[in-house]
Structure 1
């Protein structure tokens, strides 16, 4: 039976690479988007509307997420893998980033809502279907900045660190239902819309200090996500796998 993956924020950047990786291994793909319908529709046309569907939902809005889940299940019958990739309102801009003393709690709350609340809504929405099938694979996108904050992106990194604890608690509870829960923490990616404001100096510093002497690409991370979200990754749960060319080592 063909399996189905739901990728939030799947219309562009890392999300689009993840969609393509799962499509290559034969999965049906549900491409969630919030603003970029044209890009999501383009991916569907490339993959084929028998194997892909583009669905709009703000992951922070539970009603929209539930409607997306309903439509995805209606088309494909199951959602076997969820990838929490959506990034709401953040740019990796070391110049524009506020110092801690300038930040307001609302800045933190915005990232907690996009990262943690978004994952909460999506996972809870699909969970009944996964439990029914006694099968599921959940992969959320973290960051290596929680371990090595080369730039102090306070609110973003804090939300992503919380995502690891959230995921490990889920791994403990959901394992009895055959559901795995993992995190893939990429390095700063070259280049996505979110990292387009990153200065050349930051990319150069990362490259020079990385054992592989390269900046991580969206494809590097997408390949690990597809591994953890498909059959080869079934033996792993509760893990935070870092993909950054060895810049950070566990």
Structure 2
């Protein structure tokens, strides 16, 4: 029986790259999407063309009823990748509205809470499973106008550590990957030529991170070689934080 991986927000970017990589590794991939059905189905087709199996399932993972249906579609669950990102409003705290701030922070937590709760029940019955959360280095650095995004990711990191402490007793590992700027469709507007030059200059590797870089790390955390690693928080930013002021 194929192992099953559920990836939230998998229709593009890091999620799509992770789905493709896991499909090549023999996982049956559940490609979760919120709105873009065509993109999700393209990811499924790419996996099938490479000899893998996958299916696209729509769900707003902030909605507990939709999450229940999503996880119920899994006959088993070996790997959960919480990748869906709630788009933040970028504004300084002096002018940001509470509505915009809470929409990002509460939406981010709802998006991991409901699916984690359901996944833990299924993995607990199996007495095995892996959970990987996709966070961001923004939780550990400062950036103008990023207060809601940074706060949400810092809360996610704390949530992940607590889940790791609870889930280990059931044979479940829980880890977090924290990308820096990644070359995706979602980050295109923020990757101005000037900013991309700055990011490259301030990376010890001299490059911007690609979606498949993150996907490779996520897939590695699912390997047997990481069966004793849980509660880890792994930045993947080309060494950007090493050179930050």
Question: Shared topology, TM-score over 0.5?
Answer: yes
For residues 109-124 of structure 1, the aligned pairs below 5 Å read: 109-124=102-117
**Quick check: 1:11–1:36 contact (8 Å CA) kept in 2?**
yes
Q: What are the ranges of 5 or more consecutive residues in structure 2 without an aligned counterpart? A: none
1:5-47 deviation per Cα after TM superposition (whole angstroms, max 9, x unaligned): 1000001111100101111211110000001100111121222
For residues 9-158 of structure 1, the aligned pairs below 5 Å read: 9-48=9-48, 51-71=53-73, 73=74, 77-90=75-88, 97-158=90-151
1:196-236 deviation per Cα after TM superposition (whole angstroms, max 9, x unaligned): 11122221111101100111111111111111133232221
- Per mean C-alpha deviation after superposition, the further-off stretch among 110-119 and 13-22 is 110-119
Specify whether residues 207 and 54 from structure 1 end up closer, same or farther in structure 2 by C-alpha distance, changes over 3 A only: same
Q: What SS does the corresponding residue of 1:101 show, helix, strand or coil? A: coil
**Quick check: 1:81–1:230 contact (8 Å CA) kept in 2?**
no
Q: What SS does the corresponding residue of 1:196 show, helix, strand or coil? A: coil
Aligned partners of 1:139, 1:203: CA distance in 2, in Å? 27
Report the equivalent of 2:158. 165
**Quick check: 1:137–1:230 contact (8 Å CA) kept in 2?**
no
Which of 185, 194, 198 is the equivalent residue of 1:201? 194
1:98-142 deviation per Cα after TM superposition (whole angstroms, max 9, x unaligned): 122111122221112332111101011122110011001110111
Q: What SS does the corresponding residue of 1:59 show, helix, strand or coil? A: coil
Q: CA deviation at 1:50?
A: 7.3
> How much is the aligned-residue C-alpha RMSD, in angstroms?
1.6
Aligned partners of 1:31, 1:128: CA distance in 2, in Å? 20
Aligned partners of 2:178, 2:129: CA distance in 1, in Å? 20
Aligned partners of 1:137, 1:11: CA distance in 2, in Å? 21
Instruction: Give the alignment's TM-score, normalised by structure 2.
Output: 0.93
1:122-181 deviation per Cα after TM superposition (whole angstroms, max 9, x unaligned): 011122110011001110111111222344411011100111110111111110100011
Q: CA deviation at 1:89?
A: 2.6
Runs of 4+ in structure 1 deviating by more than 6 angstroms, as ranges, are none
Length, aligned pairs only: 239
**Quick check: 1:4–1:81 contact (8 Å CA) kept in 2?**
yes
Aligned partners of 2:23, 2:224: CA distance in 1, in Å? 14
Q: What SS does the corresponding residue of 1:194 show, helix, strand or coil? A: coil
Report the equivalent of 1:94. none
Report the equivalent of 1:214. 207
